[in-house]
Structure 1
Amino acid sequence: MVQEHEPGTPGEDTEPTATRRTADEAESSRASRGWWDRNADEYQEEHGAFLGDDRFIWGPEGLDEAEAGLLGPVEALKGRDVLEVGAGAAQCARWLAAQGARPVALDLSHRQLRHARRIDAAAAAALASAGATGAADVVGSRASGADDAAGVALVQADATALPFRDGSFDLACSAYGAVPFVAEPVRVMREVRRVLRPGGRWVFSVTHPIRWAFPDEPGPEGLSISASYFDRTPYVEQDESGRAVYVEHHRTLGDRVRDVVAGGFRLVDLVEPEWPAWNHQEWGGWSPLRGNLIPGTAIFVCERD
Structure 2
Amino acid sequence: MASDDDDPVRRSWNVATRNHNAHKGDQAARLAAGEELLFEEELALLGDLEGRTLVHLQCNSGQDSLCLARLGARVTGVDLSDEAIAFAQGLSERSGIPATFVRSELVAWMEQTEQRFELAFASYGAVGWLPDISAWARGVARILVPGGRLVYVEFHPLVWSFGDDQRLCRDDYFQREPFIEPVGDYVADSGDALGAIGSQPRGHNDIDAPSWQWTFADVLDALAQAGLVIERVQEYPWSNGCRVNPGLVRLEGTRRWVWPEGVARVPLMFGIRARRPL
Please tell me the TM-score bracket, short chain as reference: 0.7 to 0.9
Is 2:176 aligned against 1:232? yes
Does structure 2 conserve the Cα–Cα contact (< 8 Å) formed by 1:214 and 1:226? yes
Structure 1 unaligned segments of length 5 or more: list them.
1-25, 125-147
1:186 to 134, 140, 148: 134
Structure-2 residue corresponding to 1:14: none
Shift in CA distance, 264/214, structure 1 to aligned 2, threshold 3 Å: same
Report the CA distance shift for 1:56/1:200 in structure 2 as closer, same or farther (over 3 A): farther
User: Is the Cα–Cα contact under 8 Å of residues 203 and 299 in structure 1 kept in the other structure?
Assistant: yes
1-side partners of 2:51 and 2:213: how far apart?
Answer: 36
TM-score (norm 1): 0.67
C-alpha distance 178-41 of structure 1, shift in aligned 2 (>3 A) = same
Residue 180 of structure 1, CA deviation? 1.3
| Partner deviation per Cα, 1:47-95 (whole Å, 9 max, x = no partner) | 6899x746453xxxx54534xx2112x2xx2111100001012122212
8 Å contact kept, 2:117–2:143: yes
Is 2:249 aligned against 1:288? yes
**Alignment RMSD:** 3.1
Q: Match of 1:131?
A: none
In structure 2, the residue matched to 1:10 is: none
Matches within 5 A, 1:1-305: 30-46=7-23, 53=31, 55-57=36-38, 62-63=39-40, 65-66=42-43, 69-72=44-47, 74=48, 77-124=49-96, 148=97, 151-162=98-109, 163-165=112-114, 168-176=116-124, 178-215=126-163, 217=164, 221-237=165-181, 245-275=208-238, 283-285=243-245, 287-288=248-249, 291-292=258-259, 293-305=265-277
Q: How far off its partner does 1:226 sit?
A: 2.9
Provide the C-alpha distance between the structure 1 equivalents of 2:7 and 2:170, rounded to a whole number of angstroms: 29
Secondary structure, in 3 states, of the residue corresponding to 2:151? strand
> Cα gap change, 1:177/1:284 in structure 2, threshold over 3 Å: closer, same or farther?
closer
**Max radius of gyration: which structure?**
1
Tell me, yes or no, if the aligned pair for 2:154 and 2:271 is still in contact at 8 Å. yes
Between the two proteins, the alignment pairs up a number of residues equal to 233
Relative distance call for 1:157 and 1:113 in structure 2 (3 A) is same
For structure 1, which segment, 41-50 or 153-162, has the greater mean C-alpha deviation from structure 2 after superposition?
41-50
User: Match of 2:50, as an amino acid?
Assistant: K
C-alpha distance 225-63 of structure 1, shift in aligned 2 (>3 A): farther
How far apart are residue 232 of structure 1 and its match?
2.6
2-side partners of 1:223 and 1:81: how far apart?
43
C-alpha distance 304-282 of structure 1, shift in aligned 2 (>3 A)? closer
Q: Pick closer, same or farther for the CA change 1:121–1:204 going to 2, 3 Å.
A: same
For structure 1, which segment, 174-183 or 152-161, has the greater mean C-alpha deviation from structure 2 after superposition? 174-183
Amino acid at match of 1:156: R
Displacement of 1:30 in angstroms is: 1.4
3-state SS of the aligned residue for 2:173? coil
The answer to whether the Cα contact below 8 Å between 2:42 and 2:271 also exists between their aligned partners in 1 is no
Distance 1:202 1:282 in 2: 22
Aligned mates of 2:242, 2:149 — CA distance in 1: 31
Letter in 2 for 1:37: N
The offset of 1:225, in angstroms, is: 2.5
Q: 1:47 to 1:253 in 2, by over 3 A?
A: farther
